[in-house]
Structure 1
Amino acid sequence: MNDTVEAHRAFYAQFIVRSAGSADPRLIDAFNAVPREGFVGPGPWPVFIGGGQYLPTISDDPRLLYQDILIGLATERGINNGQPSLHARCLAAAAPAAGDSVVHVGAGTGYYTAVLAQLVGSAGRVQAYEIEPDLAQRAAQNLRGHANVSVRAASATEGALPPADVIYVCAGATHPPAAWLDALKPGGRLVLPLTPNEGFGVMLQITRLDARRFAATALMRVSFIPCIGARDDATSASLAAALERQSLKAVRSLRRGDPPDSSAWCVGQGWWISSEAP
């Protein structure tokens, strides 16, 4: 029986991608190529079980990491490595291609940054932002072998971002900052957790069609730690109301500048989500 770490990783890669509704061999290969044990510190590892609680793994055997579980990175701050199947689904939607330029917001210790780096290949580029200095330092160390990755110990909400084919966000925002939308190239995809101050939010995919038009799709309900610098109480209230009274299936486009009309799903400052096609 093949019971090696590599065998467990290969099964895990197949499982999380296929259970997320994708059969993309590139995505399966990317998860298979990145050793999770290289990004979560020494074991035994704290496994998130909900309500701010963690359960330690029974040993430091890295085979235990190849399950669809969240591993704590900084448990006292509620920062985890992220649920693999959720990220598999979101990465499938973001669809990073070989040669793409990617911005990763909220990189943590770099695990999903490394998966992104595999997807864009040597001709692509991943710029990772992590606001927590200790996590950014760990990410830079963990990713030192990836020549196509750079890590910034900084907020991605302050100033302009580089032009991007994909912006992949791993912290909850109440709104898409204007700088993120501006950074998207035509055809570029922004995948971000849009979350109110309390309760679950929604993973939103925004695709820039041209200079003014953005398509939008709600992928699933999610919960993430807050994205510092991308939160607003008034917008949180508007989002919470939209999530309570409207279907995620109604989300069709994101509008900027124009006053909201009767198709408005959620209204923010200078932007709104519409149930009408872009």
Structure 2
Amino acid sequence: MSVVSEPVRRRFAEGVRKASGLPATPAEERIFRAFSKVQRERFVRKGPWQLTDPHQGVLLRTNDSNPDQLYRDVLVTLDEQRGIAIGLPSMWAKFLWSANPLNGERVLQVGAGSGYYTAILSELVGNKGSVVATEIEPHLCVLASKALADCHNVSVLNQDATSGFEIEKDQFDLIVAFAGATHPLPHWQSSLKPDGRILAPITDDEGCGAMVLFRQSPNGFVGEIIGTCRFYPCLGARHPDIEADLKQLRAAGELRAGVQLKLHMDENRAFFEVLKRPD
């Protein structure tokens, strides 16, 4: 497959910047520098490809394998039967800007897919940082490992980060989940450094919900909603009580940007408490 030119990648990053609506800040500049540098064609199989443009509400199929066609603000299908895709760049630009991965930080990625956003995270944390990328699907793990072979600050593991995966305490500055959970799992929380954070899509049984940035606070482990989203489920990170609770919160209009949530879990019940609303 031919390599897309740098001007095409720069125009792509500018389009993503515009679609995301992010303010001009140093953190925003770092995000879009990473999007302009990472080559999207490395993280897909040979085309033609199936693309989804949510802005126009259309499904596109490319006519050939010209990689320039990947440089749009679209989802790129990886597994049509299972609904797995490389997520929307403008959406993830906004989410990663909120989490603000810093140079030198250590990141755990739950659900690497083909490794595209692993490469973005790798750029953001730099040579002094590191990314541990887990992927449960063997064929995607192979694809990601090959595509990320030159990223020396990345480790790709064919592991289920929801169970059977040893994570040391106080190990990560940031955990980013790329599949829908009902809540941050206890061993994810314990693996965070004291000022660490978790960025995760919190979704109900229909896959609908919100991207939430969780941090430790005087009120406990509290998350702030960044925006609404829809995600393929992270099957090992689901709780039926919280699924039902999230559906009620969504129906009540509580899953919107700026709302703060606190997770409560005990042997009798699990639910999110709304701590603060933006209005």
134-143 or 177-186, larger mean C-alpha shift: 177-186
Unaligned runs of 5+ in 1: 260-266
State the Cα deviation string for residues 133-160 of structure 1 (Å, max 9, x = none): 1101111111110110001101111144
Partner of 1:236: 243
Percent of matched pairs sharing the same residue: 37
Task: Describe the SS at the equivalent of 2:224.
Answer: strand
2:173 aligns to what?
Answer: 165
Structure 1 equivalent of residue 233 of structure 2: 226
Displacement of 1:43 after TM fit?
1.4
| TM-fit CA distance, 1:234 | 2.3
> Alignment RMSD, CA only?
2.4
In the alignment, what sits opposite 2:194? 186
Deviation readout 1:186-206 (Å, 9 max, x if unpaired)? 221211110111152111111
Give the TM-score normalised by structure 2.
Answer: 0.86
Q: Are 2:216 and 1:208 equivalent residues in the alignment?
A: yes
Q: Which residue of 1 aligns with 2:46?
A: 42
Contact 1:102 1:168 in 2 (8 A): yes
2:273 aligns to what? 273
Within 5 A, what are the aligned runs for 1:1-278? 5-22=5-22, 23=24, 24-48=28-52, 54-158=59-163, 159-162=165-168, 163-198=171-206, 200-209=208-217, 213-247=220-254, 248-249=256-257, 251-256=259-264, 269=270, 272-276=272-276
Q: Any conservation in 2 of the 1:199–1:223 contact (CA below 8 Å)? A: yes
How far 1:228 sits from its partner (Å)? 1.9
Give unmatched runs, 5+ long, in structure 2.
Answer: none
Q: Is the 8 A contact 1:107 1:129 kept in 2?
A: yes
- CA distance in 1 between counterparts of 2:179 and 2:114 reads 14
TM-score (norm 1): 0.87
Label 1:242 to 1:35 Cα distance change in 2 as closer, same or farther (>3 A): same
CA shift, 1:268, in A, is: 6.0
CA shift at 1:13, angstroms?
1.1
User: How many aligned residue pairs are there?
Assistant: 263
Q: 1:132 to 1:168 in 2, by over 3 A?
A: same
Code of the residue aligned with 1:128 in structure 2: it is: A
TM superposition shift of 1:250: 6.3
Shift in Å, 1:256: 4.9
